Structure 1
Amino acid sequence: MALINKIREKSGLAVGIIAVSLILFIVGGDLLGSRSLFGGQDQSVGEIAGQKISYPEFNAKVDEARAAYEQQTGRPASEQDQIQLRDQAWNQFILDIAYQKEYDALGLAVTQDELVDMVQGNYISPAIRQTFTDPKTGAFDKNTVINYLKNLKTLPAEQQLAWANFEKNLSTDRTRTKYENLLRLSSFVTTAEAQKEYQAQNTRADAKFLLVPYYSVPDTTVKVTDGQLQEYLDKHKDEYKSINSRTIQYVTFPVAPSKEDSTALYDQIKTLARGLATATNDSSYARMNSDIQAPLYMTLGEMPEQLKATVGTFAPGGVYGPYKEGNTYFIYKYSGVKKDTNFTVRASHILIRATGSDSAKAAARIKAEGILRQIQGGANFEALAASTSDDGSRQQGGDLGYFKNDNRMVKPFQDAIFGFNGTGLIPRLVETEYGYHIIKITEPKTNTLYRISTIGKTITASQATRDEVYRRAEQFATESQSKEAFEENAKKDKTLVVATAERIPENSTNVNALGNARELVRWAFNDDTDINDVSSAIEVDDQYVVAVVTGKTSEDEVTVDNFRPELTAKVRNQLKAEQIMAKLNSASGPLESIAQKYGAGALVETVPDLNLANGFLKSAGVDPVAVGKIFGLKPGKRSKPFAGDAGVLIVETSKVTPAPTVADYAVYKNQLIQNASSRTGFLINEAIRDNAKVKDRRAKFY
């Protein structure tokens, strides 16, 4: 009895401990927060202008956007839709916080009278017009809006809330438009700037250059040190903006159907075939048991090839198959025929296009007539189509497949095909707006529709198969707890291929060709995941992935490792340039002689009628420094060797033709203003985000 009493005493304490633990587990994150006695992670999804956005606050905005979307579309938001809705909610926070500060500083706002005018006044908002335009007539009637507003209070609460949000967005959009227009209209271009642009577009130069491409010097002959990379980065830090990223190596374990899965499905399809044969309502039976929906009535041309081959043996009530196409088994039940209102035919053609002048049209007709005579004389239609036709069907020997007389083809073409009986070559040219056609009917026209109930069952991996693949992946992960072990075990298993994904962004949903890989990305960015850590088996579509983190970059720190490939290429080219210029500095004589003396790799090219605004230097490509030097030299003068984008160059200017004098530069002034205006919205957004020091941490939660 004493023992029982002690158990009772202790059980009360145990229940109390469990209850407290459950409460802490359920509410601890909100109650205690990141500054709790037990620590914890920052639960904000981001920061805008110093203001933190909490996860519940952000999620509430997302839920609001999702509800509005689902009410508007009448369907649940898909995963892709929800990604867009989260972006929409985040951008709304940026507008409400960062943009609003700018609006307040300038005193910009939308008055109530202005909002009324946008909704039902003289200057209707485009959003209102789009929402209340009759889809049948395409007409907008302001009275429709007024009547809607009169009845608004009688509508369900969610619709009233949706309208309130809609009006708020109208006001927000109008304020932003005012702000952007204010800055856009502040753009100014001077006459001197317009004159400079005119001269850049219309001044011409003839030049010659010698180029020694960087690639002509083997990379293996140039050694680049970490010190040189760091020195280059220190001098060009403004050019390299780091991001939060991860580099991983990974192996995949595909979940493919096993031999046993295929056998099981084959047995199932045979059982279904017996059921289909005896079903009184065969179309309903097929629809309920098929993985793939197929039309009940098919033309001969719409039938799969294996079924089409058995048409001659069709008998009402007969079941045909199973036929395997890819990973799917098909069975079919034939139940008779009916006549369609349209005919179907299969044909091939050779098209000789006739465009341009009458003489070109006559030449096209002569060519087409010659081809027609060759075919009538026994030449192979398909071979001539492949070699002479101007239509994309030439790759299929001119085959156009099956089509109906439903006016989708141009009328002369359709009339010729459906006016021909039987099969074979139509013995005349058919002229259409596209040119001259030589047509061969390969299967005769018919309006017979076959009633066929179809069951298609796709082979999928069973749960046992999935479990076995998961077991293999988990075993690999368990035995590969370091990068070295990961690489060693991957080498031992000849079925595995190690792939590398470089610098994956934090918000990425894909990893190389792996779609829907969000969980893999979240693991790589988890605060507890370090370099050389190996993941457990992560399911990505129909495969399991095991990965190891091999590198990481941070937006707060720019290091050589963040940009090693790019920096190495830049520094290596600098070192190559020094080598090349050392050989060219003492060179003299014509450029051709210098190139010959230099040896392999050097080339000389001429560029006539070069334009300063968008000059292109053939093998040297687009090189603003080289083009600038050409226009900066006097005719007959030559530059010293210098490092360009593609290699080391020596340029010499043969002739410069100044732009003709004009009295008015208004056209060029307008061009520059329009160019600046088109970039205003983008530049405003970038500037405001940068000024607000926006930090987006949503990727830690989604």
Structure 2
Amino acid sequence: MALINKIREKSGIAVTVIAVSLILFMVGGDLMGPNSMLGGGNNQVVGEIAGNKIDIKDFQTRVDGFRQNYEAQSGRSLNENELSSLRDQAWNQFVVDIAYKKQFEDLGLSVTDEELYDMVQGNHISPSILQAFSDPTTQRFDKNAVVNYLKNLKTLPIEQQKSWENFEKSLREERTRSKYENLLKLSTYIPKAQAEKEYVAQNTKANLRYLYVPYFSVVDTTIKVTDSQLESYLSAHRKEYKGTDTRSIEYVTFPIQPAKDDSAALYTEIKELARGLATAQNDSAFASMNSDIPLPLNQTLGTMTEQLKEAVKTFVPGGVYGPYREGNTYYIYKYGGTKSDTVSTARASHILIGSDNQSDSAKTAARAKAEGILAQIRAGANFEALAATSSTDQGSAQRGGDVGYFPNNGTMVKPFEEAVFSATATGLIPRLIESQFGFHIIKVTDTKSNTVYRIASIGKTIAPSQATRDEAYRKADEFVNSVKTKEQFDEAVKKNKALVVATANRVPESATNINAIQNGRDIVRWAFKDDSKINSVSQVFETEEQYIVAVLVAKSDAKDVKVDDFRDELTTKVRNEIKAEQITAKLKGATGDLETIAKKYGAGALVESASDISLATGFLTSAGFDPIALGKAFGLKPGQKTGVFTGENGVFVVELISKTEAPKIADFTQYKTQLTQSLEGRMSYLVNEAIRDNAKIEDHRAKFF
């Protein structure tokens, strides 16, 4: 009901000169802007979809409609990130209206009024309606609330009636698209031969030995790669390297950091607040009124900062503590004691090894990899380092696997949550935990606790004074006025030891942030302007925390792929080809068993064994999953040995020791189901990509926003 309630609420010469000035001020942007007629550009096309040009006015009208609905529902104005998200929604709506609807119409797909009624107040309620008309406390859906709302709809303001009309339109579109995707899913067919092939790949087992010389055994610096070699490789593999429009910049920042006077003034203020907090009859209300940052009254260890977590151990009920400084914020706390809660929290880190699909072969491969990593950790390997390099959960991998504190209320998947909350001590859980996402290797870093701390908190952030901001701008302005070229930029940086050059490579035209710089759209738009040439220096850009001066160092063009666009990747590919040639030449003609050949080769050659592996789950100890090596091995007869060949990550000689063929079976239904489910799971993504590719979409929004 929360959404619906919000829909319901919610001298003559002098005068002439001034008037002309005001008019020019108000319309100057339209007359002289980069996309204006007088400014030299009258292109008002924001993009093209399936040959249909999208005019900026039409696009903005749709964005404005989304914004009105959003603000009516939320009761507040949007911030820039939310507005950017609505622009994406508006653009995607144009894609649906033009590219998708043609597909729908060709198939005769539609949603009738009767279907819509059934989705809104019938027997098959749409999830969107369920969410909108559910009690926020009990989460129970009330169909009568829908009926009553619709009965009174015509008495509501026209804006709210329009909002409901748009809401119903989105329900129709959602159902039509669902029909389309389900139709394609139902058309999925896996022939018996493919299912049989999958069965054989999973169940034919082999034992083999192999000689492996990895590319990394040859030092990179010993291999010289020329530009002509890179050009030749790119020319031969051009389809693999899709071009994009990007810009690379270097930049220096002039931080707007509070000065000592700013800090001293705030410190004095917060000491006064500490005295007020100590004597306040309603300490929570006092804290809320005076804090720059909304802070919860009741906290668990999971919601506390590391500094507060340590400090609270020494707190006595009724005491006021602080100020504590974290970054540019001072905190003071009034401690009110503890109580027990029905919900516990704990903290853990994990390494997730996910599978490419839900087939048994993929799961077996993922389990084998996870077991190998778990064994390494139990043998003393660093958990955080392995999380960073091996975990498929990229969000936590960047933090060494840390997922932070979480409650035992279903926030995490059930197997993961149960494993962590059943632990009685911190440390590694000595077994794999399987969930729908894959296999988890878990380290409990803080065991469960249901203690809640009552802390009235005030946080006051040091804000730089205008004098401080002016001084930072003066330095940036002085710098930019002294440089006009990249060479002068570099010389000025060398002279100013306080400046550090940062690099942002291959920034797309749609980017909003540049590295850690938030709201960097102005910099991106400058870099993509036609008159921004390579090695040209920008004006001073301002963000909330710093002034920035940038220099454009490189461009890439989607329609003209160059070696520099992929230099590092191409260099690795060509270098590995050269290494493969050198390793192969050194191994060629060697005779004897694998150990003899390895000994003749010298340092870098490894001889290893692999037991009971299959084509689907073959994992070679040092080489990892190498489909070329596996294919060669399974093509041998027992006792045969391959010649020297190049695999994915090195050069091999493989010897098949024995092979057990998959037993003959008559029913391949299980494997057909696996392959079907895997394909259906990717259907929505594949359909979306196919329709967008077919529509030949050109998105020029970044030139306007």
TM-score over 0.5 (shorter chain)? yes
Q: Do structure 1's residue 692 and structure 2's residue 695 form an aligned pair?
A: yes
Matched, 1:235 2:236: yes
> For the Cα contact (< 8 Å) 2:31–2:39, is it kept in 1?
no
1:336-393 per-position Cα deviation (integer Å, ceiling 9, x unaligned):
x9xx89599xxxxxxxxxxxxxxxxxxxxxxxxxxxxxxxxxxxxxxxxxxxxxxxxx
Per-residue deviation, 1:590: 0.7
C-alpha deviation, 1:194, in angstroms: 0.7
Give the alignment partner of residue 465 of structure 2, picking from 462, 465, 468: 462
Task: Find the aligned partners of 1:22 and 1:539 in 2 and give their Cα distance.
Answer: 22
Q: Tell me the SS of whatever aligns to 2:534.
A: coil
Instruction: Report the counterpart of residue 258 of structure 1 in structure 2.
Output: 259
Alpha-carbon offset, residue 106 of structure 1 = 2.0
Indicate how the Cα distance of structure 1 residues 486 and 586 shifts in structure 2: closer, same or farther if over 3 A, else same: same
2:15 & 2:258 partners in 1: Cα distance?
A: 53
Contact residue 306 and residue 323 of structure 1 kept, 8 A: no
The offset of 1:666, in angstroms, is: 0.8
Q: CA deviation at 1:72?
A: 2.5
The one of 574, 582, 587 equivalent to 1:584 is 587
Q: Structure 1 residues 670-679 or 54-63, which shifts more?
A: 54-63
Larger radius of gyration: 1
Tell whether 2:543 aligns with 1:527: no
Aligned to 2:215: 214
Q: Given the alignment of the two structures, is residue 672 of structure 1 paired with residue 678 of structure 2, yes or no?
A: no
Total equivalences in the alignment: 585
Distance 1:544 1:321, change over 3 A: same
SS of the residue 2:622 aligns to: helix
- What amino acid does structure 1 have at the position aligned with 2:113? Q
Q: Which residue of 2 aligns with 1:601?
A: 604
CA separation of 1:41 and 1:219: change in aligned 2, threshold 3 A: farther
Q: Deviations over 1:637-660 (max 9, x none)?
A: 122212222111111211111111
Contact 1:509 1:515 in 2 (8 A): yes
Question: In structure 1, what residue type is equivalent to 2:62?
Answer: K
Partner SS for 1:536:
coil
SS of residue paired to 2:598? helix
AA of the residue aligned to 1:161: K
Identify if the C-alpha distance between structure 1 residues 699 and 610 changes in structure 2 by more than 3 Å, giving closer, same or farther: same
Secondary structure at the counterpart of residue 618 of structure 1: coil
State whether residues 307 and 320 of structure 1, in contact with CA within 8 Å, keep that contact through their aligned partners in structure 2.
no
Which amino acid in structure 1 is aligned with residue 149 of structure 2? Y
Q: Deviation at 1:56?
A: 2.2
Q: Within 2, Cα distance between the matches of 1:675 and 1:310?
A: 55
* Pair 1:166–1:14, CA change in 2 (3 A): closer
What is the Cα deviation at residue 566 of structure 1?
0.4
Partners of 1:490 and 1:496 within 8 A in 2: yes
Q: Give, as a single letter, the amino acid of the residue that structure 1 aligns with 2:630.
A: V
TM superposition shift of 1:17? 8.6
Q: CA separation of 1:656/1:172 partners in 2, compared to 1, >3 Å: closer, same or farther?
A: same
- 1:536 Cα shift? 2.2
Q: Which runs of 5+ in 1 are unaligned?
A: 1-6, 345-431, 438-446
Instruction: Give the corresponding residue for 2:483.
Output: 480
Query: 1:558-593: per-residue Cα shift (whole Å, max 9, x none)?
Result: 211111110111011111111111111111111111
1:611 counterpart residue number = 614
Q: 1:143 to 1:625 in 2, by over 3 A?
A: same
- What are the residue-to-residue correspondences of 1:650-665 with 2, within 5 Å? 650-665=653-668
Structure 1 residue 683 and structure 2 residue 675: aligned?
Answer: no
Give 3-state SS (helix, strand or coil) of 1:614's partner: coil
Shift of 1:663: 0.7
Per the TM alignment, residue 333 of structure 1 is displaced from its structure 2 partner at its CA by 9.6
Aligned CA distance change for structure 1 residues 522 and 27 (closer, same or farther; 3 Å): closer
Give the aligned residue type for 2:114.
D
Task: String of CA shifts for 1:621-676, please: whole Å, max 9, x gaps.
Answer: 22111111111112211222122221111112111111110010111111111111
Q: Deviations over 1:105-157 (max 9, x none)?
A: 22222223332333333433332333333445544454443332222211221
1:374 equivalent in structure 2:
none
Q: How far did 1:481 drift?
A: 1.7
Q: CA deviation at 1:51?
A: 1.4
Corresponding residue SS for 1:619: coil
Q: Which residue of 641, 649, 652 maps to 2:652? A: 649
Cα pair distance change 1:236/1:293, threshold 3 Å: closer
Distance 2:541 2:702 in 1: 18
The residue identity in structure 1 corresponding to 2:703 is K
Q: What is the percentage of aligned positions where both structures have the same residue? A: 55
Q: Secondary structure of 2:480's match?
A: helix
- For the 8 Å contact 2:32–2:39, the answer to whether it is kept is no
Per-residue displacement from partner, 1:200-256 (whole Å, max 9, x unpaired)?
111111111111111222222222122211111111111111112111112222222
Q: Do residues 175 (structure 1) and 176 (structure 2) align?
A: yes
C-alpha distance in 2 between matches for 1:464 and 1:330: 25
**RMSD value over aligned CA atoms?**
3.9
Quote the residue 2:561 is aligned against: 558
2:411 counterpart residue number: none
What's the CA shift for 1:464? 0.9
Cα distance in 1 between the residues matched to 2:309 and 2:141: 48
- Matched with 1:55 is 56
SS of the aligned residue for 1:620 comes to coil
Partner of 1:384: none
Cα contact 1:180–1:681 (8 A) shared by 2: yes
- Separation in structure 2 between the aligned mates of residue 164 and residue 676 of structure 1, nearest angstrom: 36
User: Letter of the aligned partner of 2:588 in structure 1?
Assistant: N
In structure 2, the partner of 1:133 is 134
CA distance in 1, matches of 2:278, 2:264: 21
Deviation at 1:543, TM superposition (A): 1.8
Distance 1:268 1:74, change over 3 A: closer
**Which residue of 1 is the match for residue 551 of structure 2?**
548
Change (3 A) 1:18 1:489: closer
Question: Cα gap change, 1:465/1:234 in structure 2, threshold over 3 Å: closer, same or farther?
Answer: same
> Hey, what does 2:149 align to over in structure 1?
148
Structure 1 pair 191–312 and aligned structure 2 pair: CA distance change class (3 A)? closer
Residue 188 of structure 1 aligns to a residue whose secondary structure is: coil
Which residue number corresponds to residue 414 of structure 1?
none
Which position in structure 2 is the counterpart of 1:492? 495
Amino acid at match of 1:238: K
Name the amino acid aligned to 2:539.
Answer: S
> Which shifted more, 325-334 or 490-499?
325-334
What is the CA deviation profile of residues 250-300 of structure 1, one whole-angstrom value per residue up to 9, with x for unaligned ones? 22222222223234444555777899999999987776555456789999x
Equivalence map 1:266-281=2 (5 Å): 266=267, 268=269
More deviation in 179-188 or 75-84?
A: 75-84
Which residue of structure 2 aligns with residue 628 of structure 1?
A: 631
How far 1:510 sits from its partner (Å)?
2.4
CA distance in 2, matches of 1:525, 1:52: 22
Distance 1:586 1:19, change over 3 A: same
Deviation at 1:18, TM superposition (A): 7.0
Q: Which residue is equivalent to 2:517?
A: 514
CA 552–324 in structure 1, closer or farther in 2 if over 3 Å, else same: closer
Change (3 A) 1:12 1:196: same
CA displacement 1:133-187 (0-9 Å, x = unmatched):
3445544454443332222211221221111111111111121112112222111
Matched, 1:109 2:126: no
- Please, which moves more after superposition, 102-111 or 130-139? 130-139
Structure 1 residues 295 and 161, CA gap change in structure 2 (3 angstroms): closer
Given that residues 31 and 38 in structure 2 are in contact (C-alpha distance below 8 angstroms), is that contact kept between their aligned partners in structure 1? Answer: no
Letter in 1 for 2:639: G
2-structure distance, mates of 1:492, 1:48: 51
- Aligned with 1:638: secondary structure? coil
Cα distance in 1 for partners of 2:422, 2:127 equals 40
